[in-house]
């Protein structure tokens, strides 16, 4: 039992470290380990408070970036609508096929960035497609619990600075959580007991986040971009694994 507690604490701490360094990736880092011990519903429930609190903290920390990224507001709003539809799609779309498609898109993007690091989505095009990207990422969040392959890929492709990226992605994740929270309660997944566990999960997350910020502060823009690419590649591998591609 002690060993399990240590592993879970480490998983949450690693999630907090990744969150502090990149502004995203906490659930991807922590949920698989939590689910292996307690199941997916419990893992999702225990992460809800850390997701909300840490992203609200980062929104507040980087709120001065609003003038630079406020044009993404339609992406955030339509993401919430997409989650509603995505939850319905959860019962109709084969999860394995969707995971393979998402992972393939991410790997293509990672390879493209490595081959042509200066590639990016032009500003005018980014403004046109941002609402659609938000809607699709919300659908993926509702249908698979993972939106990062679309949301983070898009936000990195428009070449935001680290503060702008953190504010934009935190606002997006808060939107997700605001829509998902009532659903978890209605479904009986987020009980009072699990809410208490979720609150306790903040401890290792908040302890580790400053270490991630410390690392990020010592990286230049190229180093930060590489860190994001590593995160995306990890997400792709996780999606392939969940689809059964690796056997």
How many beta carbons lie within 10 A of that of residue 4, not counting itself? 12
Condensed to tens digits (0 to 9), the pLDDT of residues 48-76 reads 899 899 999 999 999 999 999 999 999 99
Instruction: Give the model confidence (pLDDT) of 18-54 as tens digits.
Output: 888 878 778 777 877 777 677 777 887 888 899 899 9
Q: Which residue has the higher pLDDT, 9 or 87?
A: 9
The confidence band for 90, taking pLDDT boundaries of 50, 70 and 90, is low
> Hey, where are the domains in the chain?
2-243
102-138 pLDDT tens trace: 778 778 777 777 777 777 888 889 999 999 999 999 8
pLDDT, tens digit, 9 for 90 and up, residues 174-227? 998 888 888 778 878 889 999 998 999 999 999 999 988 888 787 776 777 777
| Mean pLDDT, range 157-163, rounded to an integer | 88
Is the pLDDT score of 247 beyond 70? no
Helices 40-61 & 26-38 angle (0-180, nearest 10): 160
d(CA 61, CA 203): 19
């Amino acid at each position: 039992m002690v060993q399990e507690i240590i592993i879970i604490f480490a998983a949450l701490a690693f999630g907090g470290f990744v969150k502090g360094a990149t502004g995203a990736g906490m659930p991807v880092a922590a949920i698989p380990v939590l689910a292996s011990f307690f199941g997916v519903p419990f893992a999702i429930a225990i992460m809800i408070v850390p997701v909300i609190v840490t992203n609200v903290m980062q929104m507040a920390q980087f709120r001065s970036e609003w003038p630079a990224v406020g044009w993404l507001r339609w992406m955030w709003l339509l993401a919430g609508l997409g989650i509603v539809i995505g939850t319905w799609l959860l019962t109709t779309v084969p999860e394995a096929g969707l995971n393979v498609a998402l992972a393939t898109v991410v790997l293509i993007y990672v390879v493209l960035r490595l081959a042509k690091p200066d590639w990016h989505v032009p500003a005018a095009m980014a403004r046109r497609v941002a609402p659609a990207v938000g809607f699709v990422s919300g659908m993926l969040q509702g249908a698979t619990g993972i939106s990062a392959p679309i949301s983070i890929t898009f936000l990195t492709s428009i070449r935001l600075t680290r503060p702008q990226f953190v504010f934009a992605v935190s606002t997006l994740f808060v939107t997700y959580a605001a829509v998902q929270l009532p659903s978890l309660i209605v479904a009986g997944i987020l009980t009072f007991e699990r809410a208490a566990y979720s609150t306790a999960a903040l401890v290792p997350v908040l302890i580790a986040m400053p270490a991630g910020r410390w690392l990020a502060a010592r990286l230049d823009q190229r180093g930060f971009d590489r860190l994001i690419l590593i995160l995306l590649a990890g997400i792709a591998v996780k999606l392939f694994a969940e689809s059964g591609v690796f056997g």
